Chains A and B, each alone.
Chain A
């Protein structure tokens, strides 16, 4: 897949593909990111994968732009042969009850769909986490069904609660923490997206998701929501139950 490599300031490289929200392009982004990180290049400090771009931050005292971009170009050719998996698969329970479906009325009107049709459309797709950003641990999931394409709120809400599942444009996301936000909230998951070490988490990162993971949603009722929430708080059931890698 065609890419361009640009200088981005004096300590970063920007790799860009065709600027589209596209599963194939995004797969290429995460594959290149992973193969670059696996190499453990001296002087490579950070990478930021996004929809159709990858920013690579480096220490100019250790490696120069030319050498690093040559390496990236070489990797991009080699990594094309790898398989298409880029992460874990998750099945995430969501309660779409009115208590959590904050924009129910406005969305039903704007989309000319019933509540049930919105839930069906939202749970029918297997989404990709194209990137993470905005807030620590916030996953940008796509692509949403065209039927659910909406605008952001004209006035962002001051407080959206952790676990809220929301949609905007052709994307859906989950708020990992309480935060202000401008997306249309349609439900809530009882699963915590952030597990700190102090909470008995022994994973490599405190975040449930990584960019490149796949996520699908399924409908749960309020009593199931509360049950799962309790299971998570008490630690009786591990979060791994919701990962469906075979």
Chain B
């Protein structure tokens, strides 16, 4: 059996190895990290027969070019994009087979921000705290640069249960154009009545400084926020903090585990996959959740 070597020919704007992330280290200040669009990443792994929380490549805004040293089974999910292997066009959301020495090119990512590439087999990549997701000062090398390469063991098709195609529903039935459901956060009372109304009336623009730690959101009518000091307290992805200048920070997978900005609202956990596909410049709006979320 031949192992597979994957080599990055072109890295794209921000490409990293991501998996299901880290659990149990938050009390030491280690973020959970992992796939931003968990749904799409797990789908890709499912298609190639890998463990759903195993490593994939996560691309942001621009795609990668990678070379496969041997035959590989791959699946690409997430935002819409063009996929080309040595002149042959491939489709997203299905199992594809590529030949030895072929080069995969992912281009024109649109209708979303992030694309996932799963490759069948066991990825021989470094981990820290039981995860291959990059972690500053501990695992910086899993952010992918041109020339990086790694081995994948047992890449052949027959050993695994692969699914040729999946019907994609769920996320596609929702759109970022619809208001996202929020639950009140622990410090909701820090907002004035007017700000609470504005939170669900304004269109918030996603600022370009947004990254894997947080989407920064701004609305002309919302700011500035009269800050009250609070003691640092625990945070997790989906929490919306309000900064003194009146920006909102919608926390994503790489967020700090604690902070001192008021936690004014919390996004429903299953909407995180949707907002992970939001691009800078796009607008988000919110609505209060209809469910009962009082304590």
Contact = CB atoms under 8 A, between A and B. Distances in A.
Contacts of A8: 185-186, 263, 266
B137 A133 contact: no
A55 to B, nearest CB: 3
Contact of B138 (A133, A136, A178): A136
Given A134-B256, A178-B137, A9 B27 contact: no
A51 to B, nearest CB: 5
Contact of A11 (B28, B137, B263, B269): B269
Interface in A18-71: 19-21, 33, 45-55, 57
Given A53-B234, A205-B28, A5 B295 contact: yes
A160 interface: no
Nearest to B229: A19
Nearest to B230: A19
Interface in A198-228: 205, 207, 210-211
Contacts of B147: none
A135 B25 CA distance: 12
B26 A47 contact: yes
B257 A48 contact: yes
Contacts of A183: none
Interface string B214-245: 00000000000000001111111011000000
A7 B27 contact: no
Nearest to B22: A46
A55 B235 CA distance: 8
Contacts of A50: 231-234, 258
Given A21-B231, A52-B231, A133 B256 contact: yes
Contacts of B29: 132-138
A7 B183 contact: yes
Contact of A12 (B236, B256, B258, B294): B236
B269 A136 contact: no
Residue in B231, B266, B269, B293 whose Cβ sees the most chain A Cβ within 10 Å: B231
Interface residues of A, number: 44
B269 A10 contact: yes
A55 B236 contact: yes
Given A137-B28, A177-B137, A55 B269 contact: no
Interface string B259-294: 100010011110000000000000000000000011
B20 to A, nearest CB: 12
Contacts of A178: 137
Nearest to A206: B129
A6 interface: yes
A2 to B, nearest CB: 15
Residue in B27, B263, B267, B294 whose Cβ sees the most chain A Cβ within 10 Å: B27
A49 B234 CA distance: 7
Interface of B: 23-30, 32, 135, 137-138, 183, 185-186, 230-236, 238-239, 256-259, 263, 266-269, 293-295
Given A46-B23, A138-B29, 8 more contacts: A9-B239, A14-B233, A46-B24, A50-B232, A53-B234, A131-B232, A133-B257, A136-B137
12 contacts: A12-B236, A12-B266, A48-B236, A48-B257, A49-B27, A50-B258, A55-B234, A131-B232, A132-B27, A136-B25, A136-B30, A211-B27
Shortest Cβ-Cβ A-B pairs, 9 listed = A55-B234, A48-B234, A9-B266, A133-B258, A53-B233, A133-B29, A177-B137, A6-B295, A51-B231
